[in-house]
């Protein structure tokens, strides 16, 4: 749906200052930008700030937008930078610019996996299960969380994720693997405890 809307928005009209086209862009992309901000920051007010500042920045820089990426990818890049600025207020060390070599050479050894297939589907999709996933995502290191959110939650392609974060596609794939494994380990612990309770109550 978002990709279809993206194709309908005229980048030329945007660059020429067409107010109606800009309003159309805001209507089309406010929801995904807000969701990204909320997932990255875990705070509704901060997510609102990211949303507002993203479109203010977009309005300012539209004349220089060359259209090399999609409008949505461009907006995501702005939103990620806005979110990072908020994160750095409390944690100046926050960065997504880890060296690729450290990404590619780091070994990952998850300590606990369970068979999720043993769980009923409604358990995996329950409100509590989704809350556990959100909590696990929030616990990811920033450089992994952003890749995971853009690729697996916002459904950007590997290429668009790489463009948004100024990474190589190989780097994105490595970080995505690390993020998925870390999430699987965290959720394995959660569901492992749930299965123990089910057995003890049974």
List, for residues 88-133, the tens digit of each pLDDT value.
886 655 555 544 445 544 444 444 444 444 444 555 556 777 788 8
Query: Same domain, yes or no, for 108 and 86?
Result: no
Query: Same domain, yes or no, for 14 and 82?
Result: yes
Range of the domain at 12: 2-90
User: Within a domain: residue 7?
Assistant: yes
The region that residue 107 occupies, defined by phi over 0 for left and psi between -120 and 50 for alpha, beta otherwise, is beta
Query: Same domain, yes or no, for 106 and 192?
Result: yes
Residue 184, pLDDT score: 87
The token duo for 83 is 């979110």
What CATH number is given to the structural domain containing 180?
1.10.10.10
The token duo for 165 is 């974060």
Query: Same domain, yes or no, for 14 and 77?
Result: yes
Residue 116, pLDDT score: 43
Residue 198, pLDDT score: 58
Query: Same domain, yes or no, for 115 and 189?
Result: yes
Residue 78, pLDDT score: 95
Which residue ranges of the chain lie beneath pLDDT 70? 1-7, 90-126, 190-202
What CATH number is given to the structural domain containing 45?
1.10.1740.10
User: Within a domain: residue 138?
Assistant: yes
User: Within a domain: residue 67?
Assistant: yes
User: Within a domain: residue 42?
Assistant: yes
Residue 188, pLDDT score: 81
Q: What residues contact residue 7 under an 8 Å CB cut-off, 6+ apart?
A: none
Tally the domains of the chain: 2
Q: What is the DSSP string of the chain?
A: -HHHHHHHS-HHHHHTT-HHHHHHHHHHHHHHHHHHHHHHH--HHHHHHHHHHHHHHHHHHGGG---SS-HHHHHHHHHHHHHHHHHHHH-TT--S---HHHHHH-----S----GGGS-HHHHTSHHHHHHHHHHHHTS-HHHHHHHIIIIIS---HHHHHHHHT--HHHHHHHHHHHHHHHHHHHHHHHHHHHHHHHHH-
Query: Same domain, yes or no, for 83 and 146?
Result: no
Is the distance from CB of 149 to CB of 39 less than 8 angstroms? yes
User: Within a domain: residue 61?
Assistant: yes
User: Within a domain: residue 172?
Assistant: yes
Among 55, 72, 90, give the residue marking a domain's end.
Answer: 90
User: Within a domain: residue 95?
Assistant: no
Residue showing tokens 């409008």: 71
Among 90, 117, 151, give the residue marking a domain's end.
Answer: 90
């Amino acid at each position: 749906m978002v990709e279809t809307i993206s194709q309908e928005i005229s980048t030329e009209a945007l660059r020429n200052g067409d107010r109606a086209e800009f309003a159309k862009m805001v209507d089309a992309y406010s929801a995904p930008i807000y969701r990204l901000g909320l997932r990255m920051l875990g705070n509704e007010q901060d997510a609102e700030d990211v949303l507002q500042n993203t479109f203010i920045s977009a309005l300012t820089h539209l004349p220089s937008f060359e259209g090399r990426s999609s409008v949505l990818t461009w907006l995501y890049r702005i939103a990620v930078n806005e979110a990072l600025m908020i994160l750095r207020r409390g944690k100046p060390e926050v960065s997504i610019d880890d060296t690729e070599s450290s990404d590619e050479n780091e070994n990952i050894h998850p300590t606990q996996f369970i068979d999720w297939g043993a769980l009923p589907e409604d358990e995996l999709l329950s409100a509590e299960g989704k809350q556990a996933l959100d909590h696990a995502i929030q616990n990811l290191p920033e450089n992994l969380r952003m890749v995971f959110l853009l690729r697996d939650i916002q459904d950007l392609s590997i290429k668009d994720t790489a463009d948004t974060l100024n990474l190589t596609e190989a780097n994105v794939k490595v970080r995505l693997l690390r993020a998925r494994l870390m999430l699987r380990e965290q959720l394995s612990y959660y569901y492992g405890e749930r299965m123990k309770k089910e057995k003890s109550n049974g």
